[in-house]
Amino acid sequence: MTTSRIDRRFAALHSEGRAAFVTFVMAGDPDPDTSLEILKALPAAGADVIEIGMPFSDPMADGPAVQAAGLRALKAGQTLRRTLELVRGFRSGDDDTPIVLMGYYNPIYSYGSETFLDDAREAGVDGLIIVDLPPEADDELCLPSIERGINFIRLATPTTDERRLPFVLANTSGFVYYVSITGITGTRAPDIGAVTSAVGRIKRHTELPVVVGFGVKTPDQAAAIAAGADGVVVGSALVEAVRGSLDADGHATGGTVEAVSGLVSQLADGVRAGRPKAAE
């Protein structure tokens, strides 16, 4: 496939000698308008790549914080079609920042896979992470995505052994997402030494960037992960920042966008501190 925004962004960061900061936010949380404001604020706050969660009623890999964010979004009327509209709204002012949609296959299947991929490409989506589609189902969505120039990004986990890893990597593009813990999102802190070792093992099998997520919540954790990986993903901490900014009725306040962008700025500083800048 042709070079994507994701490829270009990681190449640029590599030349700068630093890891990528990847932010995860839930589409439509806490409401469509505020969600778009949050998205637009992320690049200036320090996000290099943006993952947007596609709300789903049965998110088996998500911890309590991300589940709650999805439920808030669904309650506010978020749909997959509205998520693509959110991407279009972001793209109207930003044609450079890579956008990755992350979620589950059921909403895409209901939408119609081929139609979804065509609409996603038109909206400006660069990549997909679909956590419940294994490599054995690549014909279902992965290969059609690649045909349309959309990166299909796979998850590798602490239980992905040497025999399984080649299957995970076979049709992966953009980057590899390493899940730093076993279990659901945002519930435990990663073991930095184990993560660094796992990233090194994966990189012996692929030239793709390896980014690390699940459990990273603080600038210090982000810095430690960034020292040994090509990127750091933070999600649960950001959706918790949304939740903590809402009023008693669960509605956005004047401080909601700043609660997220301020935390992103702090975390971005951590990521940038984690790897020294390349020599001039």
pTM for the structure as a whole: 0.94
Percent of the chain's residues with pLDDT above 90? 85
* Residue that is written with structure tokens 């992905």 in the block: 160
Comparing CA positions, the residue from 123, 129, 128, 125 lying closest to residue 99 is: 125
Note the pLDDT of residue 225.
94
Q: Where are the beta strands (DSSP E) in 12-98?
A: 20-26, 49-53
CATH code reported for the domain at 5-273:
3.20.20.70
Using an 8 Å Cβ cutoff, are 260 and 246 in contact? no
Q: Where are the domains of the chain?
A: 5-273
pLDDT in tens, 110-157: 999 999 999 999 999 999 999 999 999 999 999 999 999 999 999 999
CA distance 218 to 228: 16
Residues 247-253, mean pLDDT to the nearest whole number: 96
State yes or no: cis peptide before 30, omega within 30 of 0.
yes
Note the pLDDT of residue 278.
46
Amino acid in the structure at residue 250: G
DSSP 190: -
CB environment 205-238: b (16+ within 10 A), e (fewer): ebebbbbbbbbbbebebbbbbbbbbbbbbbbbbb
Catalytic residue numbers read 51, 62
Using an 8 Å Cβ cutoff, are 21 and 222 in contact? yes
More confident residue, 40 or 2: 40
Residue 216 has pLDDT above 70, yes or no: yes
Using an 8 Å Cβ cutoff, are 154 and 176 in contact? yes
Secondary structure (3-state) at 232: strand
CA distance 49 to 139: 26
